[in-house]
Structure formats: C-alpha cells, structure tokens
Amino acid sequence: MAQAKQAPAAEISRDKLIALLNEDLAREYQAIIGYVVYSQVLKGAEYMNVAAELEKHAGEELSHALIISNQIDYLGGMPTAAQKPVRTSAKAKEMLQFDLANETETIRNYRQRVHQCEQLGEFAIAEHIREILMDEQDHLIALATALVVVPESRITTCPGRTRRAAAAAIFSFSFRCNCSFSCRVGSRSDDASSGSAPPCAR
C-alpha cells in the first residue's frame, strides 16, 4: 500500500509574518495588563510571593512587547495598538489559571513563529523569539507551581531543572535544560505509555 503523502508546510510570506507577529504583540499587551492587574488584586498571605512574581512578569512582558514591535517595524509593518481581551475574576486561583492558559497559548505560537522566521531566512528574528520563549516558559513554570498542579509522581529528575521538568511533563511542553546536556521532557501521551516521564537525555 502506498504511503500517504505528508501535507506540505504552510507557506509563509513577509506580510503573513508581520500579521502573525502583531497577534503575538497583542498577546504581550494582554499579558502586561493581566499581570499588572492580577499582581495588585491577589489577596491572602499564601499569595504574597506570587503577587511579587507577577509584578516581575509584567516588566518582562513589556520587554517582549518592545522586542516584537521592533521586529515588526524592521519587516516594514506597523505594530498593533490593540490587545487581546483580559479575563478577570474575584478568585485568585482562577486568575492564575487564566494566566496559565495565556502562557500556554503564547508558547505554542512563539514556537511556530521560530520555524516561520527561519523559513523566510529571518534567523535573527527567530533568535529574538527563542530568548522570549525562555522567559515565557519560566512564567509558565512559576504559575504551575503557584497552582500546585504537579503531583509528586510526575516529578522528573533533570540536572538543574527538576521543577521545570515536572511542570513541563504536566503541560506537554519540551524544553532545553540549562544544564550542560540536552534535556527533553515528552508529552502526556509519552508519560501514559511508559508509566513515567522520560528522564533527562544526559
């Protein structure tokens, strides 16, 4: 039986990349507003450290927005002035869950953007986005930890990045460890088939 042909990669143009980067920029505006609001309205002693961390995230998201705006301008586009809608809640846990969902979407889109930039030969833009991705993954880990969503049975040993690996196993992300070796955590489906998260590739 003949093997099914793989679908060709979606074509990317300069104008399409500008439009996609503007969507990323709108998500960065959303993140800035969300972190500013959430950091000020989180109540309770158990959230004091979390609120301080969210304030830090707000500053980092502003830095990301400036970087993305600069790349849009470099490509000949106009940076958007509109943000994605920001969800709010009277419940602290729900606000953190909103943040977690937003970070998940942001990481997914930035990973696609890296490949799209490389398709166009815009390798410098791809490197900028890779650096932003490192911050976004740190934000996701901090939120996952604050929500206490990592069961002990899911914790994966990875030199220098145990906490990050544990959360990545839960949220189906792969990442590059900061240790001197290349580490990768698989998806939920990988965990389910093997009974445990895969170890560091060390």
Element (H, E) at 8: none
**Residue 73: pLDDT above 70?**
yes
**Residue found under tokens 């580490």:** 183
Q: What is the pLDDT of residues 76-104, one digit of tens each?
A: 999 999 999 999 999 999 999 999 999 99
The closest alpha carbon to 166, from 154, 177, 176, belongs to 154
pLDDT for the residue 43: 84
* pLDDT band per the 50, 70, 90 thresholds, residue 3: low
Q: What is the pLDDT of residues 104-147, one digit of tens each?
A: 999 999 999 999 999 999 999 999 999 999 999 999 999 999 88
pLDDT for the residue 165: 47
Distance in angstroms between the alpha carbons of the first and the last residue of the chain: 39
The rounded radius of gyration (Å) of the Cα atoms in the chain is: 18
Q: What is the pLDDT of residues 6-63, one digit of tens each?
A: 444 568 999 999 999 999 999 999 999 999 999 999 988 888 889 999 999 999 999 9
Sign of CA dihedral 67, 181, 179, 162: positive
CA 48 to chain centre: 23
**Residue 183: pLDDT above 90?**
no
pLDDT for the residue 46: 82
Structurally, at CATH architecture level, domain 14-149 sits in Up-down Bundle (1.20)
- Annotated domain spans of the chain: 14-149, 151-202
